Structure 1
Amino acid sequence: MIKVAVILGLFGLALSAPEDAYGPIVHEPVYKGEPTPYSFAYGVKDDYAGTDFGQTEESDGSTVKGSYTVQLPDGRKQTVNYVADHYGGYRAEVSYYGEAQYPHEYGPPITFKPQVYHEPSYNPAPTYN
């Protein structure tokens, strides 16, 4: 009988303890502002390194429309046109320009020219405190 009383006492104590030992979780209300229209675009083309990509995107506050392009290693250019909103999700249309090329021999790897190191024009004297 004593064992049952002790078990019931411990069970009641466990139920009365707070659920979170660090205190109650308080959820602050989230206030979302009005959607803000925006647009941006960028592009990178570096013939020396062989990079060529870019993106444009615009939004009226509820729907986002845009496209991005990238030069693929096989020589083709990939373009993705997309539309995204809360109702239809993300919808993309992918297209390729050019024909894939796989050469039998590869050229030398792309390397960058070494930068010339210039000695400082003055030699500051060391200071001792």
Structure 2
Amino acid sequence: MKIILVTLAVCAAAAFASAHDAPAHYKFDYGVHDPHTHDVKSQWEHRDGHDVKGAYTLKEADGTIRLVEYTAGPHSGFNAVVKRIGHAHHPAHYGHHKGGHGGDSYVGPTHWGFQH
């Protein structure tokens, strides 16, 4: 009985080792476009063995799109190229500010704000 258990354990370990050493391959992509939160982004990535290639986009608050294209591998390391697409749009200003006073704050004190 012990020989059978040892044989099964060795076979299971060998099967795990061969699956673990196999080159990884995957592909994925996704995107988000939420008009309520203005969250607009996407990403894709492919892995073939030890080499990874991918890109992601993100809509910035100023209206531009950040595009990051990247590659990674055991010999080249991680490399990314960041591009900014479009022209920045600044938010409209409402009203006039007098005397350098800011707006009202609605944030309460934090638990670490009043240490004695």
State yes or no: 1:104 paired with 2:104: no
> Which residue in the other structure is 2:27 paired with?
39
Name structure 1 gaps, 5 residues minimum.
Answer: 1-30, 107-129
Aligned residues of 1:38 and 1:61 also touching (Cα < 8 A): no
Percent identical residues: 37
Q: Alignment partner of 2:71: what SS?
A: strand
TM-score, normalised with respect to structure 2 = 0.61
Q: Which has the larger radius of gyration?
A: 1
> Which residue in the other structure is 1:81 paired with?
69
> Which residue in the other structure is 1:50 paired with?
38
Following TM superposition, the consecutive aligned residue runs of length 4 or more in structure 1 with deviations greater than 4 angstroms are none
Q: Number of aligned pairs?
A: 76
Q: Alignment partner of 1:90: what SS?
A: strand
Q: Which has the higher helix share?
A: 2
Alpha-carbon deviation of 1:104? 3.4
TM-score, normalised with respect to structure 1 = 0.55
Q: Alignment partner of 1:93: what SS?
A: strand
Alpha-carbon deviation of 1:103? 2.1
Partners of 1:47 and 1:105 in 2: CA distance? 22
State yes or no: 1:71 paired with 2:70: no
Alpha-carbon deviation of 1:33? 1.7
Amino acid at match of 2:93: E
Partners of 1:53 and 1:91 in 2: CA distance? 21
> Which residue in the other structure is 1:12 paired with?
none
Per-residue CA deviations over 1:10-69 (Å, capped at 9, x if unaligned) read: xxxxxxxxxxxxxxxxxxxxx542122110000000112111001000011121000000
Amino acid at match of 1:34: A
RMSD: 1.4
Name structure 2 gaps, 5 residues minimum.
Answer: 1-16, 95-116
